[in-house]
Structure 1
Amino acid sequence: MKSRGLSETEDEGTVMLDMDTASRLLGLSANLRTAERVKAALHYPHSDGRFDEAPQVLSTPCFSSGSHVWEVEAEGCWDIALSYRSVQRKSRNSSTFGRNAESWSLAHSGQGELFACHDKHITALFGSLQSSRIALEVNFEEGRITFSTADSTKTLLHEFKAELTQPVCLGLGLYHVDPPSRASIVKVS
């Protein structure tokens, strides 16, 4: 599948979750902006791009240049990730966001603990998360991926430096049914 950069005439507000990548353990809202972890596998049509083991989903479209920000409202045990579209989908170990070279993630334990993850390197972040709204920003030209709170303080949580070589999109991973894990794309710029 060929992805492209966003032209000036396209509306970034059309970013949504890609049903063809959604794990059967994630329920998606009708507007494809919210995902929630479910207990029993859902009956989605066959898709080669679907996450088989990890309860994850990617967004569409992907971006290949410029600077982009996704704001996500999340609760429970989650990963918010920047991911190449090419990320592995068929194995839990190699497809979980941040556990491979194709994705960079901010993970929340569900008890306030935060971790930055990339290529199996996991860094515990100090302090607990006070906000449920996270901003993920990517800047291709600067090779910068940042996670920050999207509240009035705009606190930087973690920054990765990376030479991005493929189109990227937002990824959401939701891991617990109880208490519920859910996430919504609330703003894109």
Structure 2
Amino acid sequence: MKDSLRNIAAAVALTVTAAGAAHAASVTVQFPTSAATVVGSVGLIGPTQIGYFWSVARGDLVSQAYPGTGLFGASSLSMDLNVSFNNLSSGDSVNWDVLVNNVDVGDWSWSSADGTGLTNIALSFAPIAGEFSSLALVVKNEVPGGNGSIALGLDTRTTVFNDVPEPATLLLLGLTMAGLAATRRR
């Protein structure tokens, strides 16, 4: 009986330790930087900003590669952006697709009323197979000619996460309990 209780206590301690060790991994990158691919009416405006963005027809976008991040199965991100210039006319906005590894994971929009400054985009999405290797913002609307554009500041931060799924922890707990039940029957 003492051995059985000792085995149960050890198994529970192991399960709690293993469940506590299961945590999300992340990688933080600078986005965008001066090394980014930029399609806009100007591109690199100066040492601190890129733009001007307003045209889906032109293919306005910002994209950047991140080889060898070591993060697999990306499933969420927290992207800081600095809108450094905004001369959109009242009621106009620039709408964007947010891409991770060329997979559309969500949308972002900036309007004339938003002014300029820092913003954060937090998105959760289905895990993306493979290693995290690129970010992109792609304009998906056309601001009418003469109605303005926006520009983005460089070197803001984006953190991409790989969230450990809860079912794996529950599976570990279930297997431990099944093992305990089998040990107890002996």
User: Into which bin does the TM-score normalised by the smaller protein fall?
Assistant: 0.3 to 0.5
Q: Structure with the greater relative contact order (CA < 8 A, sep ≥ 6): 1 or 2?
A: 2
Structure richer in helix, relative to its length: 2
Query: Highest CA radius of gyration, 1 or 2?
Result: 2
Give the structure-1-normalised TM-score: 0.42
> TM (normalized to structure 2)?
0.43
